Amino acid sequence: MTMTRNCTSTRAELRAILVAWVTGLGVFFLLGLASGQLEGQSVPAALTATAPTATAPTATAPNATALSATASPTPEDADSTALWNGPDGESLANPECPADASWDPQAGDEIWLVNTRNLGDCVSDCKLAADLPISRWQGGEFRASSLADLLEQTARNPEIRNVTYIHGNFTDYGWSIRRGMQVYNHCFGGQCVRPPIRFIIWSWRSERETLLGRDYQIKSQRAVAEGCRLNSLVSSFGPAPPIVIGYSLGAQATLSALSQPAAVDQPAWQVTLIAAALDPFFCSTLRNNQQIANRAERLVLFTNQTDPALNCSLRITRRSTFNPKPPSQYSIVPNLRGGRAKLEQFEVSREVGHHHAISRYLESATVTCHLRNLLSEDAADAAGDSAVWPAPPISDR
């Protein structure tokens, strides 16, 4: 009798272990699908693009004379039914990633590409090397230039406003170009009344490297280091206040740049943060940081409480730091109050919805009007009349 009960108990325990093992395997598989791809899983070759299509310039290596907008299959800001990598309405694409309909800059504008992807994660010296890969859009393609040429242009034409865009995670070299040009065309292209701008795409190493949780930890720390380099470049510009736009982990790089020491005559930045993702260990630096608040003339933050990628990053941070209430996009403005910066926070979840793609945020009238107003207010002052887009109603969180 006792032996029978023991055997029955053993079989029950084995069944329970087997069920738990199979359940765990199933959960792991589903999480892999949710993150966009399991290790080694290929991405479908052709998905529908949201932008009007045109033929992109042919691709060569980043250091070649002509640089292109072709892309690998996994952009950072692909939409978010599958967290960062989902295909809902975005082109994850095909290696021949189509360009937007118009890649030609508006008359008087310059478009530059700064590529820091080969610099490594260790930042012992924030100064940028003279041979840093930098390109300029000329003749329908990005042509190799240099840091000296860029700085010479900023000194020669100080009246041209410098606008720097920093992308987020899961963005390879080709997609950084495409998304940067998309931001330029959507927000600044075709504006009738505005001063010329020098639009700079900051391309940093953020291709997907490993599973979702560990990848986010690596990239969030890398974004902090990247801010040191970003500050070095933007601080080299002329006397006009630079405009810096940080998206997702690009917002982390921007805040990290602002936390660096500034020169005495450094103009205050005009900062826009969109769907900001934060490194949890940077937040001790962020807390009541008057230097960040004082280095910005104006800081505008666009939040989205339904953004699945940002909510996923919070879950990752909770597990990695054992903090039930980790810092989030809503921690930025409260921690920067008291400085010189004018702080504004707009909740755009009703306009953007359950998405993380930059293209979805650009469809928000609140976001686009703000970015256009950064330049049109200057134009209106110069022209003596109003060229400011009226801001739509903003929902409160």
Q: Which residue has the higher pLDDT, 49 or 304?
A: 304
pLDDT digits (tens, 9 = 90+) for 347-396: 999 999 999 999 999 999 999 999 999 886 654 444 343 333 333 333 33
- β-bridge partners, 343: 299
Q: What is the pLDDT of residue 22?
A: 56
3-state secondary structure at position 277: coil
Q: What is the pLDDT of residue 8?
A: 52
Domain spans in the chain, listed from the N-terminal domain onward: 1-34, 46-383
The least confident of 183-187, 258-262, 281-285, 348-352 is: 281-285
Q: What is the pLDDT of residue 266?
A: 85
Instruction: Give the other-Cβ count within 10 Å of 307's Cβ.
Output: 26
Residue 36 predicted with pLDDT over 90:
no
Q: Where are the beta strands (DSSP E) in 229-291?
A: 243-247, 269-274
Half-sphere exposure of 86 (CA within 13 A, CB side): 17
Burial of 175 (0-12, 13-18, 19+ CB in 10 A): buried
Q: Which residue has the tokens 């986010």?
A: 216
CA distance 154 to 148: 10
Burial of 37 (0-12, 13-18, 19+ CB in 10 A): middle
At 320, the pLDDT band (50, 70, 90 cuts) reads: confident
The least confident of 87-91, 95-99, 162-166 is: 87-91
Q: What is the pLDDT of residue 212?
A: 92
**What CATH class does 46-383 carry?**
alpha beta
